[in-house]
Amino acid sequence: MSAAAEHRPFWRSPTAILWAGSLAVLMAFGVRASFGLFQKPMIADLGWGRETFAFAMALQNILWGAFQPFAAAAAEKWGTARIVVLGGILYASGLYLMAISMDPMTFHLGAGVLIGMAQSACALAVVLGAVGRAMPDHKRTKGLGIVMAAGAAGQFTVVPVGHVLIAGFDWSTAYLLMIVFAMIIVVCAFPLTGKADAPKKAVEPTDNMTLSETLREAGTHRGYWLLTIGFFVCGFHVAFVGIHLPAYLTDLGMPAATGAWSLMLIGIFNVFGSFYAGVLGNKWRKKNLLSYLYLARSAVILAFILTPISTVSVVLFSSALGILWLSTVPLTSGLVAQIFGTQYMGTLFSIVFFSHQIGSFLGIWLGGYLFDAFGTYMPVWWAGVALGVIAAALHWPINDRQVVRLAPAE
């Protein structure tokens, strides 16, 4: 252990960075995961169609992805903490506008623009980049899995709170009260202070390269493109289910609380799925695990839509999908770090993640649009089955070897 490491305060240690980042992601993901519960109360109160609500959530996802590379690059240049604080403030501002929304424009600005920007600053790539740089090589994928498990925990800690707030007050007051969670994100930023979140442990493949050189290299790497295209499918799946599953279940005659506990159940099992995906990613080839995960998603969705709806079918679907829910993220982000190193991991992963958010946009928006047009979600469910098979085929041929570069001349 170096002298610098010995004198580093605990709140700047890799452990503190891991847990602070995990709590920030838990809050950000948990609040966002609860938004699907607000759909029916809001449209019933304000007289909107489902597409109006769905478009705001879709806009949120696409802007999250669009701003993510810039947020990650800013964090790598100016420090993670500043960007996470900004994310928490934007989150609180977005929730306030959602609470006072009486027209679609205000709601789209709050839920779509501000929350989308907030997510880019505090919810994923920025935190994963900080954790990836802080953790030792042999613990990195496991650490990334812990962050995603924390995000999953938001679904069974924050989502039930959202359900209780809506039932006990109203949708507007519930949004206002959830601003508390955004303020917790701000507090979580402080252990992430500084440009370098941990001392370098070894020479990284990107240590002697600029960001622009690294981006050009990634742009010519076939595996990076396959990973990016495949991650589109993950976004399509989770965003559609997260926003439209509660409404889908009530449409089929299930009680309103079913949507809340089904999302909660997904979150519970996602904790285990994300954590063990990180553990397995340290032992087996990540690209192969990703292929198996996408095939399994297709099988789970297919079984759900072909089975008569019941409490048992919802429990089985939510549990199985929860294991697969965000298990792709530690494997995908870990694969980026494995191939290109960790120095610009946040920026490189954020570009991959933008594809995820394009899928999220289409999954959410098409769900609302097609339901308003045809009165059913089935075309989107079937599209999810087909896309899972395609994603599995895309990941298998990825070249996952670390890029080899010549050492600089002495």
Give the length of the chain: 410
- 315 torsion bin: left (phi>0), alpha (psi -120 to 50), beta (else): alpha
User: What pLDDT is stored for residue 10 in this prediction?
Assistant: 58
Fold exhibited by the domain 11-198+209-395: Growth Hormone; Chain: A; (1.20.1250)
CA distance 297 to 292: 9
Burial of 190 per CB tally in 10 Å (0-12, 13-18, 19+): middle
- Indicate whether 138 pLDDT > 80: no
CA angle 54, 60, 64 (to 5 degrees): 150
* Helix runs in 135-285, H state only: 140-168, 171-177, 179-188, 211-219, 222-251, 257-281
In this structure, which amino acid lies at residue 72? A
Q: The pTM is what?
A: 0.74
pLDDT in tens, 304-355: 999 999 999 999 999 999 999 888 888 888 888 888 876 777 778 888 988 9
User: What pLDDT is stored for residue 295 in this prediction?
Assistant: 96
For the beta carbon of residue 187, count every other beta carbon within 10 angstroms. 15
132 and 337 in contact (C-beta within 8 Å)?
Answer: yes
Domain boundaries, the chain: 11-198+209-395
DSSP state of 343: T
| Residue from 264, 270, 265, 324 nearest 293 by CA | 324
297-307: average pLDDT: 96
| Residue from 258, 234, 229 nearest 245 by CA | 258
pLDDT in tens, 188-238: 888 876 444 444 444 444 456 777 888 888 888 898 999 999 999 999 999
